[in-house]
Chains A and B, each alone.
Chain A
Amino acid sequence: MTEAVIKSKQPELIQGKTGKSAPRKAKSRFSSNTLWSGGLLVPVLLFFILMNVVPTIWMLGLSFYDYTLTSAKGMEFIGFDNYTRLLNDGPIQLAISRTFLFMVLAVILQTLLGALIGFLFWRADRMPGRRLALTLLFTPMVLAPLSSGLFWRLLLDPVFGLINYFISSLGFEPVNFLTNPDWAFTTVLLVDTWMWTPFMALMTLAALGSVPKAELEAAQVDNLSMWQRLIHVIIPYAKFIIVLGILLRTIDVFKTMDLVYLMTNGGPGDRTELIAVGLYRLAFQSFNLGYSSALAVLLLFIAIALTSIYLFVLNLRARKELKDQS
């Protein structure tokens, strides 16, 4: 009762005793904190300006010029021409839509497989040599995509490759995985899946680890089936980290370049030309710096949009945690 009396009075009192917020007086010592907070940032800001802001502005500037290294014409300011050209560039648009297709397929495949494998390892939490097994599982994702690409070229070789040996010993015709137009896209997709399914397994394991133990035990005591546990207990907790994993993979697909560059260099034809590969070829094989910069600016905006989405989801969780605490 006491509390009720007191509490009900508090708001009135606050409004009653003072008006709106009082005028501020200068705080003398705060300059010292300001100095520290700014000073500590200086080194990172210097690196950031030199290595990010300057190149970005440079790139923006280039995107307004017609500038091809191999032509004798030199630089010519053309305003937004590069961007309008981008809007009507069939091959680029095809590469973008191909990247989206690759993204959807890769993310679905890797999420499902990774969830399955993550779940398996979660169930096998006491397996002998678990740490070694996890090391073997996780190694593909920490390899440089370039070296993975190189390794798979050996494995997929139509003549002496291990994969074709298995295929022919099963009685099928050997496949020219990387140069056959019907196979190249699928092959790159599968190698990407080999590399990144372990990542989704890692995220799944972390997600399952974030499910409170007490909830799981309660579900067991209640004798829920594994399926019921999954729907009612595990997924509600685990979905956040899995969503973050899916977003990170989505972002990464836009960056996929080394792997494809090494295995097929976008070919045969343009069958495996993802947008990042296309950009690189535009810049370093056609040396069209102005036009490729316009494309880079476009990709920069896509990256910023994806980062926003990612941080939005991340903050959702932080906000939820804050709410749960109070």
Chain B
Amino acid sequence: MTQQGENHVLRLESVTKVYGDTEVLKDVGVTVRAGDFYVISGQPSSGKSVLLRLILGLELPDLGSINLRGEVVTGEGPQRRNIGYVPQSFALFPNKSVLDNITYPMRVDKTSKKIIEETLERVSELLNIRDLLDKKPGQLSGGQKQRVAIARGLAKETDIFVLDDPLVGLDFKLRERLIDDLKKTRAALGVTFIYSTSDSLEALLLANRVGILFGGTIMEEGELDTVYDEPGNSASMATLGFPSVNFLDGLMMKSDTESIAQCPIGSFPMNPTDYEGPVVLGIRPEHIEIQSEDSAQGFLAQVLFTEDVGGSEIIYVESNNERLILVLGASDPQLSKVRTGEFAASVQPEHIVAFDPNTLQRISEGKESSRV
């Protein structure tokens, strides 16, 4: 894709925001390139909204700089930044019709009538709200309001849009559709989306680049695939995990030639590292395999309960007092073993990542197993 270079449309450098005595954001760095679908992913109240507000200019940073389209805008107000905005609570003007709500950004901007009409046509088609244009927000359902709010955010002549967790609380079907629509819209307009969510699945489905916001700072930033496959810290791995990533307490031991990680479900050979001591081992649910027969490498797992999430089955098990999650396709033949309530499972070492429990940073990963 785009090369890592100077063609960013937005760059935040060591931005810090303090409310009272608390540093809500500290030393945050974000680089967004033109055409990105950039997802800021983080737990609820990790500071996502504050970060977006800094980008929009609704708040100003206490430290650091913000560079927008090649210009430093650190101290500029929102009026000077020309960014489209979908706020988290819909904030639809109750006294205006849906049509007037949607065209509001363009009317404030004094956009020409022709473009207003074209844009209105496009966004109302996209979000399937043609029939609602004459209504007042008070007459709409929650989902409809959300779609109108997104439409209003998108109805602006600009190249950067900020969407603050716009799909939160929507039902599954609608969300699925809108995820699709949002991706297509961004591609069709060739614009940049900066999007926040606390939902891993949304991040995985939407982003081409992600920034992992944790504890008030961006822990990691990069291409979605890279961050997903090679998480640099346990926060990244946890944030981009669906279903939730398994974390096990373990111990890293070192001999002359190799490192070994011990944990309640077994010992695993790791790529050599100087680190010795307690570690946290991360294993994605899809990497826990059910063994055909009892294997020397495996561990015994008791099924606690299962959950059908449409297309796949999430299985909650317990092994040596550790709770684990694994996931199977709904038609996986191995499901019959699950039904018996107990089965043997194993993990290939290369799927295990070891993190420092204090700094959260990645230490090492399991060795490529000889099996493959």
Contacts and interface: CB of A to CB of B under 8 A. Distances in A.
B235 A25 contact: no
Interface stretch (A16-24, A242-250, A317-325): A16-24
Interface in B261-304: 280
Nearest to B323: A1
Interface string A15-48: 0111001111101111010000000000000000
B75 interface: yes
A12 B215 CA distance: 10
Interface stretch (A2-10, A111-119, A296-304): A2-10
A6 to B, nearest CB: 6
Interface residues of B, number: 34
A14 interface: yes
A17 B43 contact: no
Interface stretch (B21-29, B85-93, B222-230, B307-315): B21-29
Given A22-B16, A25-B63, A28-B75, A1 B27 contact: no
A16 B219 CA distance: 14
A16 B323 CA distance: 29
Given A5-B234, A5-B280, A27 B26 contact: no
A5 B234 CA distance: 9
B62 A24 contact: yes
A14 B47 CA distance: 13
Given A2-B238, A10-B215, A29 B60 contact: yes
A22 B23 contact: yes
A326 to B, nearest CB: 11
Interface string A90-122: 000000000000000000000000000000000
Contact of B238 (A5, A12, A18, A23): A5
B23 A6 contact: no
A16 B61 CA distance: 21
A35 to B, nearest CB: 12
Of B57, B246, B247, chain A has the most CB atoms within 10 Å of the CB of B247
A3 B241 CA distance: 12
Given A2-B238, A6-B214, A32-B77, A18 B18 contact: no
B216 A14 contact: yes
Contact of B60 (A12, A13, A18, A30): A30
A254 B245 CA distance: 67
A29 B61 CA distance: 11
Contacts of A12: 358
Contact of B244 (A2, A22, A24): A2
Contacts of A22: 16, 18, 23, 26, 62-63
Contacts of B280: 5
Contacts of B57: 29
Nearest to A30: B60
Interface string B317-343: 000000100000000000000000000
B80 to A, nearest CB: 9
Contacts of B214: 6, 10, 13
B217 interface: yes
Contacts of A3: 43, 244
Contact of A29 (B23, B62, B76, B235): B76
B182 interface: no
A17 B244 contact: no
Interface residues of A, number: 23
A3 B44 CA distance: 11
Given A1-B323, A21-B21, A27 B238 contact: no
B246 A1 contact: yes
B360 interface: yes
A18 B43 CA distance: 20
Nearest to B57: A29
A22 B16 CA distance: 8
Nearest to B14: A22
Given A14-B215, A22-B23, A22-B26, A2 B247 contact: yes
Contact of B360 (A1, A9, A23, A30): A9
Contacts of B358: 9, 12, 16
B229 to A, nearest CB: 18
Contact of A27 (B60, B247, B359, B360): B60
Nearest to A12: B358
A121 to B, nearest CB: 30
Contacts of B74: 28
A160 to B, nearest CB: 56
Contacts of B215: 9-10, 13-14, 17
Given A1-B323, A2-B238, A24-B18, A18 B23 contact: yes
A13 B241 contact: no
A16 B215 CA distance: 11
A25 B247 CA distance: 40
Given A6-B43, A22-B16, 7 more contacts: A2-B246, A3-B43, A5-B234, A22-B62, A29-B57, A29-B77, A30-B60
16 contacts: A2-B241, A6-B214, A9-B360, A13-B215, A14-B23, A14-B216, A17-B26, A17-B215, A18-B27, A21-B18, A21-B21, A22-B18, A24-B18, A25-B61, A29-B75, A29-B77
- List 5 A-B pairs, minimum CB-CB distance, nearest first: A28-B75, A13-B215, A2-B244, A29-B75, A27-B60
